[in-house]
Chain A
Amino acid sequence: METEEKRRRLSPILRWLLILKVWLIERFRLGERQVTLLWAAVIGFLGALAAECFRRVTDLLHYICTGSSAEIITSFEHLPLWQRFLVPVVGGLLAGLTLWIGNRLIAAVRQKSTTDYMEAVVVGNGIISFRASLVKTISALFSIGTGASIGREGPLVQLSSLIASLLGRFRNSPIPQRRHLVACGAAAGIASAYNAPIAGSFFVAEIVLGTVVVESLGPLILASVVATFTTRAMHGESPLYQSPDLGLHTRWEIVPLCAIGIFLGLLAPLYLRILRWTESLFAKLTLPVPAKLALGGAVVGVLAMFYPQVCGNGQGLVASLFHQNWDFYTVLLLLIVKLIATSATFGSGAVGGVFTPTLFIGSAIGVLYGQAVLYFAPQLRPDPTMYGLMGMGSFLAATTGAPLMAILMVFELTLSYAIVPFLMVACVLGYYCSSFFEHRFMYGESLERKGAAFFNSQLAEVDLVDLIKRDPLTLPQNATFAEIAQNFVQHQFQHIYIIDDDRRLLGAVSLHDVKAFLDRPELETVVIAADIMDENFPRISPLHSMADALKKFSETRSERLPVVDNLTSQRLIGSISKTDIILHLAGEESRPKVQRAVSSDLEKAPS
């Protein structure tokens, strides 16, 4: 009997660990929301590392293809004409072959996940396919490393979102949390690509989540900031585009500065239609994928023979635009060739982003506008660079439908506060003008189209059941005080659910109730779970609505409640967290837009 009693007792070390844990909980109160923040920070760090790896491999491939480690435009300027043509063609071919072979291999395995982080967050289940992402990333490496006119922010975001998705799966998180972690990954990717933590988090909040609520924004901000600091530790702290001191020379300049928003807001729908038109043009070609991408590469190659500035994402081109005093016709020519190169690359199906090319196109139009103002109203003494930045912001707002993100992005890219008030007006005007003619913005359009397939496969319907975390912490009613204490040490939960042999929920033991008695070893063998459990602990059934579930949470201080199959048999099937419900409801704010668009697409689709 003595031996049995000894066996049932808690070791002094475990007892002190538990007391320490309670002390920490009392003082720091690490709830599920705080834990999510910690994971967001981990995602930010890993996302930035993944982005750095991608950058380095791209640079290596670029060096192999061009024999130069300089910036992509400089490398192409030093290549002979035949090589300027051949490198993008071969790159396109290899990128296409990767997609073609990869997709064939993956098609053999039935996929229940997506490859697109936006789908994963908005309409999916937060699971991004590892294999398909790998294929897309390798394909993007070939395209970007060989000078395709496409942004590398796409693969960077993809990679960090993939890492976040894998972490969500590793943690066995419910759908809203997985989605939210993927969103954190996307924010980290944007932040590390542009050295822009605020814009990174708002890009995801505004475009991907479609909502700016504290519950979801906090982790996004943390992921972005950690990613930015990690990237800065490797690349330094200077903004992506150093701008000269800017400001108004006369008060009347406010008029053309604000009008640029209207002008670019009217041009943005045209740009979006050009992208869509080239995409559908390539889709009509009865060519295999490698040939299509090689053709896209050939368009870039031909243009690069005469204008090597078309190569790459356009980041270097924007810097040159602001620092070299190109005349009106040079800027116009570069704008046209870059637009053709980007449309051809994007339309051919190359993997990558159009965000950075869009920044150049907006900036170039802005500079042209500024030069026109200078020509027609020289008394205003306008600085075309300032108009270039206004153009960048307002065009971004008008094409993405995210004015807040555009304002923050341009501010962070330049760190020039003087332009912000005008930028705000230009971005808002750009967005309103564009949305008057165009309802499908850059990311929403692709999301709606891809989302249709997801809704069709009924993966995206989320109800209470999808939020349940299976296998919660349970003990039988005869579990000793020592066992209860030991479980509180080993797990982060505040409650242990007590079940009978048929898994019927009998009640819950709360850490709060027992914490004052943890230093009393004499209780360890005489008190059992049945003596101290709360039989009336609130519980939820999958038949409850989200609103009912939230109401249940209002009756308790607990952050997590048990879920029983139904309120008669009371069999425990899992637990549900308040944070997940709030995240889900916050996400629902934005989901109806997509859902409506997708539903109408489905209605139009032939049966």
Chain B
Amino acid sequence: MISSRTVAHLRSAVLVNPVRAKTDTEAIDELLSSLRDHPDVVDANALRTAVLQRQKVDPPILPMGVAFPHARTDSVRALVLAIGICPEPVVFGDTPVRLILLIGVPKAAIAEYLDLTSFLARHLRNQPVLDRLVEATSITEFLESFAEL
């Protein structure tokens, strides 16, 4: 069951396919650059700093190859999401990652953040779903892969 709020977040997400970066930081930068002109991003540099700082503390990675670089920061007005698909896995820590979901959340939106993260973390543990997601060429296809659940 997908909440309408989660669908809205996924629908407004920016898809980067393919991600050409070779390292985790380059991949994050590539996704961040796709958000630079997003209307809800107030300060892209501050968002970058916050995401990289969060990565230093404890990078959130699912063992089947999904990374969630994210930050709670007031450099965004509303939750923003960039989805990166890596045809060539990018290594985050020790884990080769095929799918990157970069999330920027306003500080006050704890519930929204937990809702989205919970949804993604629950479904991206499912290998067939993940396989379908990395094949998506557009946000619509990406959403359809979830809709089939």
Mark A residues whose CB is within 8 Å of B. 1-2, 5, 477-478, 513-514, 516-517, 520, 522-523, 526-528, 530-532, 534-535
Within 8 Å CB of A520, what residues of B?
114, 118, 122
Given the known A-B contacts A523-B114, A526-B121, are A1 and B94 also in contact in the complex, defined by CB atoms under 8 Å? yes
Contact among A526, A530, A532 for B68, CB-based, below 8 A: A526
Within 8 Å CB of A527, what residues of B?
60, 114, 117
Q: Chain A's nearest CB lies how many Å from the CB of B75? A: 14
Contact among B63, B72, B113, B125 for A1, CB-based, below 8 A: B63
Within 8 Å CB of A528, what residues of B?
57-58, 60
Q: Does the CB pair A477–B57 fall under 8 Å?
A: yes
Given the known A-B contacts A523-B121, A530-B54, are A5 and B114 also in contact in the complex, defined by CB atoms under 8 Å? no
Within 8 Å CB of B110, what residues of A?
513, 532, 534
For chain B, which range describes its interface: under 10, 10 to 19, 20 to 34, or 35 or more residues?
A: 20 to 34
Please, could you name 22 A-B residue pairs with CB atoms under 8 Å apart, sorted by A? Answer: A5-B63, A477-B57, A478-B57, A478-B58, A513-B111, A514-B114, A516-B111, A516-B114, A517-B114, A522-B125, A523-B114, A523-B118, A526-B62, A527-B60, A527-B114, A527-B117, A528-B60, A530-B54, A530-B58, A532-B72, A532-B113, A534-B110
In the complex, whether B70 has a CB less than 8 A from a CB of chain A is yes
Q: With A517-B118, A522-B118 given, can you name 16 additional A-B contacts, CB distance below 8 Å?
A: A1-B94, A477-B57, A478-B57, A514-B114, A517-B115, A522-B125, A523-B114, A526-B60, A526-B68, A527-B60, A527-B117, A528-B58, A528-B60, A530-B54, A532-B72, A534-B110
Q: Does the CB pair B117–A2 fall under 8 Å?
A: no
Kindly supply a per-residue 1/0 record for chain B positions 90-115, scoring 1 wherever the CB is within 8 Å of any chain A CB and 0 otherwise. Answer: 00001100000000000100110111
Q: Chain B's nearest CB lies how many Å from the CB of A518? A: 10
Within 8 Å CB of A532, what residues of B?
72, 110, 113-114
Q: Chain B's nearest CB lies how many Å from the CB of A526? A: 4
Residue of A nearest to B118 (CB): A520
Q: Does the CB pair A2–B63 fall under 8 Å?
A: yes
Q: Does the CB pair B117–A523 fall under 8 Å?
A: yes
Chief secondary structure at chain A's binding surface: helix
Within 8 Å CB of A477, what residues of B?
57
Mark B residues whose CB is within 8 Å of A. 54, 57-58, 60, 62-63, 68, 70, 72, 94-95, 107, 110-111, 113-115, 117-118, 121-122, 125
Q: Does the CB pair A1–B95 fall under 8 Å?
A: yes
Assembly CA distance A520 to B95 (angstroms): 24
Q: Does the CB pair A530–B121 fall under 8 Å?
A: no
Residue of A nearest to B56 (CB): A478
Within 8 Å CB of B117, what residues of A?
523, 526-527
Within 8 Å CB of A5, what residues of B?
63
Q: Chain A's nearest CB lies how many Å from the CB of B10? A: 17
Q: Chain A's nearest CB lies how many Å from the CB of B85? A: 19
Assembly CA distance A173 to B114 (angstroms): 36
Residue of B nearest to A510 (CB): B110
Q: Which of B62, B107, B117 has the largest number of chain A CB atoms within 10 A?
A: B117
Within 8 Å CB of B125, what residues of A?
522
Within 8 Å CB of A534, what residues of B?
110
The 6 A-B residue pairs whose C-beta atoms are closest, nearest first, are A522-B121, A522-B122, A478-B58, A526-B60, A520-B118, A517-B114
Assembly CA distance A513 to B63 (angstroms): 27
Q: Does the CB pair A531–B121 fall under 8 Å?
A: no
Within 8 Å CB of A526, what residues of B?
60, 62, 68, 117, 121
Q: Does the CB pair B72–A531 fall under 8 Å?
A: yes
Within 8 Å CB of A523, what residues of B?
114, 117-118, 121
Assembly CA distance A477 to B56 (angstroms): 11
Residue of B nearest to A4 (CB): B63
Q: Does the CB pair A531–B70 fall under 8 Å?
A: yes
Within 8 Å CB of B107, what residues of A?
535
Assembly CA distance A532 to B112 (angstroms): 11
Q: Chain A's nearest CB lies how many Å from the CB of B16? A: 21
